[in-house]
């Protein structure tokens, strides 16, 4: 049996190797440190749209490695130190880190798992596997984001002007994570309700079009988008909301996503 199997060979305790003892005995005696144990982290690609520009939340690292460099927020998944204390799930860690790194209550942003990054040399400290997630935040909440205690500062960086231009190189493999997250959101924009999380609770047609344009990086024809918008209204995904919003020379109708579309 090779190293890394289920432990019934070399890693099994002496008391259980010959079939004696209960499973509880086996687990209590099992020494998991005999086996390679990579650490696991969660990294977060937090996106919003501000001033018709797609922004990503970056933190300046306070400690080594990459001290002083910009990176995505995230942290280690908490693990227990006994067979009956396993720590937290990856999902719980992602929600916890998002709350800690933004200062916002849990549930403030749409959060979904993106991809697992496991290159052997992706972290210079040791073998670290990262389960990356992406989060979408309403622009009305973006000004309330504060840096976590393990970051020197936090900022909303422009994807186009700051990251894609190379002005803010990212630590670790975070540029790859960010690029993958943006591709995912762009892919889902027209077939899922992800745009719902990037506009205020009430919005105009122009504001929703601006979100689509910011995410995709292209200008939409206003007439074509309005026809698409009206189809979403007809399908019951969007409904009129009370009030008007002055966006130019005249007030514009505001809308909201219906319970069916949320």
Q: Which residues form the catalytic set?
A: 153
Quick check: helix, strand or coil at residue 159?
helix
Quick check: helix, strand or coil at residue 42?
strand
Quick check: helix, strand or coil at residue 191?
coil
| Residues forming beta bridges with residue 130, ordered by sequence position | 41, 117
Token pair in block for residue 237: 């995904």
Query: Per DSSP, which regions of 172-247 are E strands?
Result: 238-246
Question: How far is 27 from 82, CA to CA, in rounded Å?
Answer: 9
Query: Per DSSP, which regions of 62-147 are E strands?
Result: 70-71, 74-76, 110-117, 128-136
Token pair in block for residue 238: 């969007």
For 250, phi then psi, to 5°, come to -145, 155
List the end-to-end C-alpha distance of the chain, in Å, as a whole number.
Answer: 51
């Amino acid at each position: 049996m090779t190293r890394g199997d289920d432990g019934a060979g070399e890693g099994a305790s002496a008391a259980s190797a010959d079939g004696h003892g209960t499973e509880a005995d086996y687990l209590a005696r099992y020494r998991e440190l005999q086996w390679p144990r990579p650490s696991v982290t969660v990294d977060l690609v937090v996106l919003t749209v501000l001033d018709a520009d797609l922004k990503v939340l970056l933190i300046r690292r306070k400690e080594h490695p990459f001290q002083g460099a910009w990176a995505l927020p995230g942290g280690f998944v908490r693990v227990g130190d006994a067979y009956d204390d396993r720590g937290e799930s990856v999902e719980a860690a992602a929600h916890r880190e998002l709350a800690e790194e933004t200062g916002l209550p849990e549930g403030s942003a749409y959060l979904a798992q993106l991809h697992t990054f496991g290159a052997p040399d992706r972290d210079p400290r040791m073998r670290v596997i990262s389960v990356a997630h992406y989060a979408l935040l309403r622009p009305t909440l973006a000004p309330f984001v504060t840096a976590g205690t393990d970051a020197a500062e936090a900022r909303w960086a422009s994807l186009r002007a700051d990251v894609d231009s190379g002005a803010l190189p990212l630590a670790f493999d975070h540029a790859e994570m960010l690029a993958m997250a943006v591709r995912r959101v762009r892919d889902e924009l027209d077939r899922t309700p992800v745009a719902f999380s990037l506009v205020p609770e009430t919005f105009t047609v122009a504001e929703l079009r601006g979100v689509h344009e910011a995410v995709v990086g292209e200008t939409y024809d206003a007439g074509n988008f309005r026809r698409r918008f009206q189809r979403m209204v007809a399908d019951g995904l969007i409904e009129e909301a009370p009030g008007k919003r002055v966006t130019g020379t005249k007030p514009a109708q505001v809308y909201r996503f219906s319970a069916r579309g949320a």
